[in-house]
Amino acid sequence: MSTIIRTRSPFFIRTPQETQSTLNHFQINITVFGGLSSSSEQCDDLYADYLLRKKPLGSEDSVSVDISEIVNDHLEQIFTGVYSVSSEKSSIWVTVATSPRKADGTLVDDAVVTSNTYLAQEGYNHFKDGANYTVEPIAMISGSYLQYHQGSTITIPVNVERVVSVQWRSGTSTRETDSFTDNGNQNQKIGYAQFSGSTVLDNILVTYDDSFESIITIVPIEECKFPVHKITFVNRWGAMQDLFFFKKSTESLDTRSENFNASIFEARNVVLSPPSSGTECREEITYNTYSTTAHAKKTFNSNATESISLNTGFVNELMNPYFEELMVSEYIWLTDSTNTIYPVNLKDSSFTYKTGLNDRLINYTMNFEKSFSLVNNIR
């Protein structure tokens, strides 16, 4: 299994110690690429190569380098409603080679040269996890409880390097099975198990590492009154995750514009009229005039941003980790009741955790704005 780099948190490379007196600096070669880990084709559109040089400080005989920001630039988050497309560039291979060098750039005598390959994904670690936390998830969500809209497609991201199958079940009866096989290509390292249909499900059985099993409880919610909205976001593991908002939604429009005082006075106004005879236009000239219907105060650069306020309906406190991850996600999409997908940004900057003990019934209200202007200004 691959060692994971979560690129929104630092990932440090430490070079081996080198005690030779001729050591001047360490050379670090970073290569990012797609496809199989065993080959890095330069024609691959994910391919990039970086060369870093770093000198040890004082009496140190090795160096540390954080490579996460360099790698993060090459990951792409794509959501078109087809989850397999989202996988294509959400994982990338990273090879890091280190070597001690003399002042002229040649290798130190008897140099220890290292080369390691990692799998990078645009997730993040928590502070309490410590540095270079690389634990591999099974199902790529942070809990074992989910609420979903009954009748809608339910999607679960999984780690294809570990997961063998996902069984969609009612009680102990399997309704459908998704199987996974890792072919080594980075474009399928994050897989998505999906179930569509009217069958009511209540749990998912995930088989991983050949024979181990894990159960995720899923609770169907039937909404008959309000249009249901789906929020898709990149979670802490770098995978697409869905949350459903079942209750009241409110749309609004925030406008913006600029104004200036325009000069509408005309000291000499010439109006050309078609000739009554001959070939020359007629001129009608007036002096010291202005139109009483012209805009003396002119509006320009007028545009607007559409926003929507969504309510979850009553949710279990076990859903709290998902809303926490939504709050800090950098990529969010809204799918409305007509299945139209919009990129959105979360407007809220604070989140109060609710529990059944303190609040009894838990409902969250979240405010999103569409990530584009109403008047098209893409140039």
Q: Of 173-177, 276-280, 290-294, 347-351, which gets the smallest average pLDDT?
A: 276-280
Q: How do beta strands 145-149 and 212-221 pair?
A: parallel
Enter the DSSP assignment of 111: -
Q: Which tokens hold the place of 117?
A: 């390959």
Do 347 and 309 touch, CB atoms closer than 8 A? no
DSSP E strand boundaries for 209-296: 212-221, 229-234, 240-245, 249-261, 266-273, 282-289
**In this predicted model, what pLDDT tens digit does every residue of 326-365 receive, in sequence order?**
999 999 999 998 999 999 999 999 999 999 999 889 999 9
**40 pLDDT more than 70:** no
Q: Of 70-84, 227-241, 267-281, 289-303, which gets the smallest average pLDDT?
A: 267-281
Contacts of 58 (CB under 8 A, 6+ apart): none
**276 pLDDT more than 80:** no
For residue 203, what pLDDT band results from cuts at 50, 70 and 90? very high
Using left for φ > 0, alpha for ψ between -120 and 50, and beta otherwise, residue 171 falls in left
Contacts of 38 (CB under 8 A, 6+ apart): 184
Question: Cα(293)–Cα(187) distance, rounded to whole angstroms?
Answer: 61
For residue 275, what pLDDT band results from cuts at 50, 70 and 90? confident
**In this predicted model, what pLDDT tens digit does every residue of 114-160 receive, in sequence order?**
999 999 999 999 999 999 999 889 999 999 999 999 999 999 999 99
Would you state the pLDDT for residue 41? Answer: 64
Contacts of 278 (CB under 8 A, 6+ apart): none
**42 pLDDT more than 70:** no
Question: Degrees (nearest 5) of the Cα angle 351, 235, 196?
Answer: 110
Three-state secondary structure call for residue 187: helix
**In this predicted model, what pLDDT tens digit does every residue of 208-222 receive, in sequence order?**
998 899 999 999 999
In this structure, how many other beta carbons lie within 10 angstroms of the beta carbon of residue 60? 10
